[in-house]
Amino acid sequence: MLYALMGLGLSLITGVLNIPNFAHGALFAVGAYFLFSAIHAVGNFWLALVLAPVGVALLGLAIEYAGIRPLYAAGHDYQLLFTFGLSLILSEGIIVVWGPIGFSQLPPPLLRGGFDLGFIFYPKYRLFVMVMAGLLVLATWLFLEKTRYGAIMRAGIESKEMVSLLGIDVHRLFTAAFALGAYLAGIAGALTAPIRGLSPSMGVDMLGIAFVVVALGGLGNLLGAIAAGLIIGVAQAVVALYWTEASVAVIFAIMAAILLVRPQGLFGIR
């Protein structure tokens, strides 16, 4: 479900802005670290969980406005280099601010412990994350599907020229899409923190997976990204049961195998 969240955000950004966002993983990591600091600042997990992703979204807003906007006309090569440089800055910045050693973050007291299901012991917090991520995906989907702004965003994926001809400020649309994508990455990171702990390299690991999800789901295909995120998550969990070391490499192998048969991705049309 977290993969779906990451993939959805990235798919939105790549689809609407048509740029390769290599800072997406770093935004994910920043979300986790923001949560960590926010908990220490406000002393409340729930408030921190609200604040941290908003912080990431604001960061995304600033990045888009200052950095990506001047690059719309430039080629993918420079956009790539920019987001890649940004990802270096953010992940090294994390080390500078929070130190190179990772942290562990406990879930809030309410969600500690787990349910004994008889055959398996399932941690409460994981269940919470699953539900939470599911709700977020649903909310994002409803937003995109049912609201006016969502419709504009989807139209932006289809045809930017047409949208701007209809008198909509495309630049503002781009900024909004980037901020929303950053928000989703940030909250995914924040939710992950109590499960896997925090480490400066957490973003890079996630970045590859997010790209796989987008590639499989089809570029700019939001529903596809959700489905691909679920498939990848389940596949990884299953592989991890039998061959733990290979579970990450297998994701990419699955992607390669699928693309061999369907080069446009599972749900891609283009």
Q: How far is the CB of 130 from other proteins (least distance, A)?
A: 25
| Candidate ranges 54-62, 183-191, 205-213, 229-237; the one touching other proteins (CB under 8 A) | 205-213
* Interface positions, 64-83, toward other proteins (CB under 8 A): 67, 70-71, 74-78, 80-82
d(CA 58, CA 64): 10
One character per residue 14-33, x = contact with other proteins (rule: CB under 8 A): x---xxx-x-----------
Least spacing, CB of residue 119 vs other proteins, in Å: 30
- Of 19 and 129, nearer to other proteins (C-beta) is 19
β pairing state of 114-116 and 121-123: antiparallel
Q: Under a CB-based contact definition with an 8 Å cutoff, are residues 79 and 71 in contact?
A: yes
Report CA-CA distances (Å) from 75 to 20, 82, 86, 92, 136. 11, 11, 17, 26, 33
252 binds other proteins (CB under 8 A): yes
Residue 219 per-residue DSSP state: T
The least distance separating other proteins from the CB of residue 42, rounded to whole angstroms, comes to: 28
Q: Are 129 and 64 in contact (CB under 8 A)?
A: no
CA atoms of 223 and 241, how far apart (whole Å): 28
- Alpha carbon distance 171, 163 (integer Å): 11
Residue in 222, 182, 186 with CA at minimum distance from that of residue 202: 186
Q: Which is nearer to other proteins, 19 or 190 (CB)?
A: 19
Cβ at position 16, least distance to other proteins in Å? 12
Residue 154's nearest CA partner among 187, 132, 138, 176 is 176
By rule CB under 8 A, what string of x and - marks binding of each residue 78-117 to other proteins?
x-xxx-xxxxxx--xx-xx---------------------
In angstroms, what is the minimal distance from the CB of 200 to other proteins? 11
3 state SS for 107-167: CCHHHCCEEECCCCEEEHHHHHHHHHHHHHHHHHHHHHHHCHHHHHHHHHHHCHHHHHHCC
- The verdict on 61 binding other proteins (CB under 8 A) reads no
Please give the residues from 143 up to 182 whose contact with other proteins meets the rule CB under 8 A.
none
The contact set with other proteins (CB under 8 A) reads 14, 18-20, 22, 67, 70-71, 74-78, 80-82, 84-89, 92-93, 95-96, 204, 208, 211-212, 214-215, 219, 245-246, 248-249, 252-253, 255-256, 259-260, 263-264
